[in-house]
A and B are shown apart, each in its own frame.
Chain A
Amino acid sequence: MRLIFFYLGKLFTIIKNEVLVLPSRVAVGLFFLFMLLLPLFTKDIYLLRIFTLTSIFAIFAASWDLLSGFTGQMNFGHALFFGVGAYGAALLNLHASIPPWASVPLGALCAVLAGLIIGIPCLRLRGTYLALTTLAFPIILTGLIFAFPSFTGGELGISGIVRLTQSRVGDYYTVAVLMLGLCTVMWKITDSNIGIIFHAIREDEVAVRASGVNTTRYKLLAFSLSGFFAGISGGLYAHFMRIAGPSTLDLFLSFSVVIYAIFGGVVTIYGPVGAVFVLFPLLEFLRVVQNYRTLMFAVVVLLILLYMPDGLFAWLRDKIEKECPRCKIRNIATRHTCRVCTAPLD
């Protein structure tokens, strides 16, 4: 009994010293709690459905940030991974009757394969050329899908896929927990030594090569990691909607993920996730003014980009936190001295 109290005390100290000192960490903690406790307060199917879809697209947006934000490999055809993941999971589930817990990761592996196949020829390209080439791949795949309607379902897509779980709440929890877990994993990757190389590749690829690092390998790694996470979101989408259609390869999907990422702040991971949680429900709730829905959506996005060019969440973080000029540790904006080295802030 005393041991339990001892560890509880330790946990409390960690939370007090590491989490509560920074508002951004508190916000992330509250977000986790909110996602996990939401079904306890509402059983509204419509609301749960919106948040499930939002979580799926949050994984998708974060995976784009991992590739294009961090390594700077502008990918305008990110829907390719989403679509391959969705179709892969759907076909495996329908024809080989593999259950969702296996078909989703296997579909994601198909997306990794797709990432490697397009990654290898695209690695020689840079900037605009890369963006335009990647833009073409989902369109090519859509053409292929229309060419073999007996296997892929053509324009109607593949329907009759097994549900993710037996209940709406189960669906919600599966997707929400996966979203929180995968986004944490992505954030961890970008925070590690690999993340440093990704940053460096974005800044100056020749200099990275002159530092003795095989950039080709790391760029392929970025392509496959990003493809894997996007493929998982695609597979979840297919199992949740119970249909995998050509809309999963849509051009609009590729561009909306770019909008999400830039709206929330690129090169952050938390930015795109937050942006999806703002924009996706916003688009849903704007249904009350059906005719002006997209227009108002565009106005919101434009205003944010005009006044917060670094993205909404990067801007918010700068407002509530200050960086210590001496030790570079972040502090809450209300403090006058750094919490670690006691140097005066600004």
Chain B
Amino acid sequence: MAPSFLEIKGITKSFGGLQAVNDVSFSMERDQILGLIGPNGAGKTTLLRLITGILKPDTGSVRFMGKELVGRKTWSIVNMGIACTFQNMRPFRRIPIIANVMVSCMSPRAMKSGEWVKRLEAKAMDALEFAGISDMAREKASVLSQGDLKRLEVARAVATEPELLLLDEPFGGLSPAETELMAKSIKRLHKGGRFGRLHSEGPAMIIVEHQLQWLMKIVDRIIVLNFGNLIADGSPDEITKNPQVVEAYLGGGGI
């Protein structure tokens, strides 16, 4: 049997006395969009950071296409095809927006796949065009609004041409119209294809989100975390009917 696309086994992380992620295991397929939900402080962002190697897990293993990720450096994980965005956006504020994306385009993975594109700018511009902020390419990143920063994060992640994309609250702080646009872009990206000189392999995705209304329309499968424990795993319909999930969100003891 071929190794599964992403397999997480018994991963645990605690910060001092706080058990942020407690013995979480799941696996996902190449063509899935996975939603990761849970109340505040459930350990969703921590879980993403454990996958990308920004944080080191206490125990457990993360296997991506048969290769162990725990113990690898973040940049090497990104070069294997896992890109991530940050919840609190971290742009390079004092350099132009296009240069922000060019940093991603200079990663070995992006350089390898786009050898025929001589100019990094052209490729970076395509990523910006995909995200919809190409008209501001020469501005400094500090002028961007909250919603555009989210798009810059997405453009930066897409520029590495990932196979697995980890989106941390892509709709956070967006207006309803912007949310719809972003949801459509995500759908489009998942289908794959060419965006100018940029090749999208239709990455699998893990999306952490609070706005369930939009999330439900995008994802195939949802995983629910509460206090670091995995409490439910299933299709969006099943999740909304799951009594444990309802209790975690609305609190026990009835309303």
Contact = CB atoms under 8 A, between A and B. Distances in A.
A196 interface: yes
Contacts of B79: 212
Interface in A167-206: 193, 196-197, 199-200, 203-204, 206
Given A209-B75, A213-B75, A199 B86 contact: no
| Chain A at the B interface: SS class | helix
Contact of B107 (A204, A206, A212): A212
A234 B216 CA distance: 64
A60 B124 CA distance: 35
Nearest to A217: B75
Contacts of A211: 75, 78, 103-104, 107, 156, 159-160
29 contacts: A193-B106, A196-B95, A196-B103, A196-B106, A197-B103, A197-B106, A199-B99, A200-B92, A203-B93, A203-B95, A204-B91, A204-B92, A206-B54, A206-B74, A207-B90, A210-B75, A210-B83, A210-B84, A210-B86, A211-B103, A211-B107, A212-B78, A212-B109, A213-B106, A214-B73, A214-B75, A214-B76, A328-B96, A328-B138
Contacts of A196: 95, 99, 102-103, 106
Contacts of B83: 210, 212
Contact of A213 (B52, B86, B93, B107): B107
A217 B93 CA distance: 23
A44 to B, nearest CB: 44
A208 B84 contact: no
A199 B94 contact: yes
A213 B99 CA distance: 14
Contacts of A209: 54, 73-75, 78
A196 B138 CA distance: 14
B41 interface: no
Given A210-B78, A212-B78, A327 B138 contact: yes
A215 interface: yes
Interface in B132-155: 138-139
A149 B98 CA distance: 55
B74 to A, nearest CB: 4
A24 B3 CA distance: 60
A207 B103 CA distance: 10
B52 A210 contact: yes
Contacts of B99: 196, 199-200
B22 interface: no
B42 interface: no
A328 B93 CA distance: 16
Contacts of B156: 211
A209 B73 CA distance: 8
Contacts of A208: 92, 103
A212 B108 CA distance: 7
B165 interface: no
A203 B94 contact: yes
B75 A212 contact: yes
A212 B73 contact: no
A199 B74 contact: no
Given A210-B54, A211-B75, A211-B78, 15 more contacts: A196-B102, A196-B103, A197-B103, A200-B95, A204-B90, A206-B54, A206-B74, A206-B90, A209-B73, A210-B74, A210-B84, A210-B86, A211-B156, A212-B79, A212-B83
B128 interface: no
Contacts of B103: 196-197, 200, 208, 211, 213
Contacts of A214: 73, 75-76
B95 A212 contact: no
9 smallest CB-CB distances across A and B, nearest first, come from A212-B107, A212-B78, A203-B92, A211-B104, A207-B90, A209-B74, A328-B138, A200-B92, A200-B103
B120 interface: yes
Interface in B107-131: 107-110, 120
B100 interface: yes
Nearest to A213: B107
Interface in A34-60: none
A40 B149 CA distance: 56
B161 to A, nearest CB: 10
Most B CB within 10 A of own CB, among A197, A203, A206, A211: A211
A199 B92 contact: yes
Interface string B234-249: 0000000000000000
A211 B74 CA distance: 9
Interface in B170-220: none
B254 to A, nearest CB: 43
A212 to B, nearest CB: 3
A338 to B, nearest CB: 13
Contacts of A203: 91-95
